[in-house]
Structure 1
Amino acid sequence: MEKKLKNPHWKPDFGPAKFNARSGATVIGAREFLIAYNITLNTREKQYAMDIAFELREKGRSARQGEIGDIYMRGELLKYQKEHYPCGDCSFVGKTFQETVDHCQQEHQYDLTELLSMHEIDPQNPVGQSVKTPGIFKHCKAIGWFVEEYGRAQISINLTNYKITPAHLVLEKARELALKKGLIVTGSEIVGLIPFQAIYQAGKYYLEKQGRSIGVPVKDIIDIAIYSMGLNDVTPFKPEEKILGLPQIERGKLISMNTAELVHEVSRETPAPGGGSIAALAGSLGAALASMVSNLTAGKKGYEKDTKELIQLADQAQQVKDQLLKGVDEDTDAFNAYLEARRLPQNSPEEKKFREEAIQNGLKEAVMVPLNTTRLSLEALKIARRVVEIGNRNSVTDAGVGAQIAFTGVRGGIFNVLINLPQVTDQQFIKEMKDTCSKLEQEAEKILQDALKTVHAVIAKLSEK
């Protein structure tokens, strides 16, 4: 450690670069999430898997020439010689190593010295070493092996930054390379966990490849990713166990109830769930209807020019819908927090002060939650209004209902903001909330009237036929 600290590369982020033999050192590192990912082939031949792995991985492989055939590594190795420095990607041969370095940078856009370092070759002395050519994907490490348990060869991959090199793109390139060798990728497997965003983006990718809308529920997108990537090929893929950060509905939450259970729960003699939760639910239903009509229309004859926008609207509606669904429980939770504050003891001046502060904080939270419902429901209303305008004429009433019920979410949220303000003591906060609600309500009323006017016009035109 003492020797390492003399190297500028090992300079501490905090504190002096001086070794303390008595205390030692604490080293903390962080990196992007690593996805351990295997791609399975319909062969027992390990060399096929190795061949594809070397072409995929960032560090690439040794360049070869001669009779190569289906397996590249059977070719004759190219080596650097004095005054003879071949490029691994074309016929160029430099008289000096620097000439070849410059050629690789200019013609093939990679750093040859960095590539050789990945293979633990000294760029200052490459003579006698094999020529290297880079692989396709950055942040990708891969080898090939035979798995006795499956009776098949696999490409074993570590993706060290899935945001730059996602698993689904590596899989598609592997499928392409395998096909050229007469092979088929039978599926793939996640070893350990995969972040939600990684598999969510994969699902969207495959939906887009199919020309389908990405504005569908999260579960549908995850299912598409699982089927498209063949994640059940060699072992069962259980989303709830394998996906890190998978959105899930907790047991006991209002939105985990079926329709009848929720309606019955609202009808009971308890103050929550009440209007705030139902306002959030109304807004989410408005967004859902807007998404439905967008998806029904996208790609259909006569609506081709609006398909791209309709898919975007469906995707936006899904996001708004999911946020409002969370609001169904958040409103009830905020009200319950306020009730808990009211139950705090008040036997001393200190306890009374603490209780009053908790009540005021609880009231403000009970205001901010429905205000968020109002804003999100307004977004749902805007989407529904646009879908009314460009969606399928035969579904215009569905979009109209979406607009109407989204407006209920807006107004219901405002009601729940205003009902909580009289008990708030912060007068500036009260003024800001009233002004905000007034502006939001006026904007929503205008949008709703525009949407309903269009709905009635379309119905009247359809009735003439």
Structure 2
Amino acid sequence: MDLCTLSVKEFLKRVAERSPTPGGGAVGCVVASLAASLGAMVANLTIGKRGYEDVSDQMESALEVCENEMTYLCDLVNKDVQAFDQVMSAYKLPKNTDDEKAVRKVKIQQALKTAIEVPFDLARRAKNIIINLERVAKWGNLNAISDVESASHLLLAVYYVAKANVTINMKSLKDEKYSEWIKEEMDHIEKQIKGAHERIIDVITKRNG
């Protein structure tokens, strides 16, 4: 099932059910998409408005990024569920013989990497969106600027959602070199997101007088 085709009410019901999916990772993807939607809204409310003619190109560019991320994140919602299912399937593989145990071990490690890569990708998407929102905060329609601030808060939360999902799957991963690389990349992404968030709040505060 394509979770992005569900109504908001249906999606909430699915999350609340006695099933591990859709879980935090999928919810994080939806929240990131909502943040991108808010950015797109502010860009749309700026394009063509009197007094904002000089920033039309910037807003058109920002709008394109937001719309692309919205589409990508819808696909990522489903990939998150699929990744979890792969991990569960790997753990359920037979382990009666040495060969079966060896195959199961490899499959589990492969599935765990997939389950790490999806939230890792979510973190990168959150970074892309929030950096893009900096220009919307600087030049977007002042009457809707609080929506950019709201989006930036959501994206900071999304990063921590992604980090939580990366961390829990890394606990059972045996590839130390890969784990260290992921950790370093996540730390770098965190700094970028926090920096962009602080700059957005600062510029909005100044614009609001």
| Shorter-chain TM band | over 0.9
CA distance, structure 2, for counterparts of residue 302 and residue 345 of structure 1: 67
User: What is the one-letter code of the residue matched to 2:169?
Assistant: N
CA distance, structure 2, for counterparts of residue 282 and residue 255 of structure 1: 12
RCO higher in structure (CA 8 A, sep ≥6): 2
Partner of 1:426: 175
User: What is the one-letter code of the residue matched to 2:121?
Assistant: N
Partner of 2:50: 301
User: What is the one-letter code of the residue matched to 2:138?
Assistant: E
User: What is the one-letter code of the residue matched to 1:289?
Assistant: L
Partner of 1:443: 192
Q: Aligned-pair RMSD on alpha carbons?
A: 1.1
Partner of 1:265: 14
Structure 1: tracts of 5 or more residues without a match: 1-251
The sequence identity of aligned pairs, in percent, is 26
Tell me if structure 2 keeps the 8 A contact 1:384–1:400.
no
Partner of 2:82: 333
1:99-158 deviations in whole A, cap 9, x for unaligned? xxxxxxxxxxxxxxxxxxxxxxxxxxxxxxxxxxxxxxxxxxxxxxxxxxxxxxxxxxxx
**1:407: Cα distance to partner?**
2.2
CA distance, structure 1, for counterparts of residue 72 and residue 175 of structure 2: 28
Partner of 2:23: 274
User: What is the one-letter code of the residue matched to 2:17?
Assistant: R
Structure 2: tracts of 5 or more residues without a match: none
Tell me if structure 2 keeps the 8 A contact 1:281–1:409.
no
Partner of 2:147: 398
**1:410: Cα distance to partner?**
2.2
Partner of 1:253: 2
| SS at structure 2 position matched to 1:300 | coil
CA distance, structure 2, for counterparts of residue 384 and residue 400 of structure 1: 9
CA distance, structure 2, for counterparts of residue 313 and residue 291 of structure 1: 7
Higher share in helix: 2
Tell me if structure 2 keeps the 8 A contact 1:378–1:444.
yes
Tell me if structure 1 keeps the 8 A contact 2:29–2:76.
yes
User: 1:47-62 alignment to 2 at 5 Å?
Assistant: none
CA distance, structure 2, for counterparts of residue 411 and residue 309 of structure 1: 29
**1:262: Cα distance to partner?**
0.7
Tell me if structure 1 keeps the 8 A contact 2:58–2:135.
no
2:118 to 346, 366, 369: 369
1:346 to 62, 87, 95: 95
Superposed structure 1 runs of 4+ greater than 6 Å apart: none
**1:352: Cα distance to partner?**
0.5
User: What is the one-letter code of the residue matched to 2:194?
Assistant: E
1:388 to 122, 126, 137: 137
CA distance, structure 1, for counterparts of residue 65 and residue 187 of structure 2: 25
User: What is the one-letter code of the residue matched to 1:397?
Assistant: S
CA distance, structure 2, for counterparts of residue 347 and residue 400 of structure 1: 55
**1:441: Cα distance to partner?**
0.6
Partner of 1:453: 202
User: What is the one-letter code of the residue matched to 1:292?
Assistant: M
TM-score normalized by structure 1? 0.44
User: 1:38-53 alignment to 2 at 5 Å?
Assistant: none
CA distance, structure 2, for counterparts of residue 344 and residue 398 of structure 1: 47
| SS at structure 1 position matched to 2:48 | coil
Tell me if structure 1 keeps the 8 A contact 2:30–2:74.
yes
1:358 to 107, 117, 123: 107
1:36-69 deviations in whole A, cap 9, x for unaligned? xxxxxxxxxxxxxxxxxxxxxxxxxxxxxxxxxx
CA distance, structure 1, for counterparts of residue 70 and residue 13 of structure 2: 23
**1:347: Cα distance to partner?**
0.8
Does residue 407 of the first structure (1) align with residue 156 of the second (2)? Answer: yes
Which structure has the larger Rg? 1
CA distance, structure 2, for counterparts of residue 326 and residue 367 of structure 1: 16
TM-score normalized by structure 2? 0.96
User: 1:201-212 alignment to 2 at 5 Å?
Assistant: none
CA distance, structure 2, for counterparts of residue 290 and residue 385 of structure 1: 10
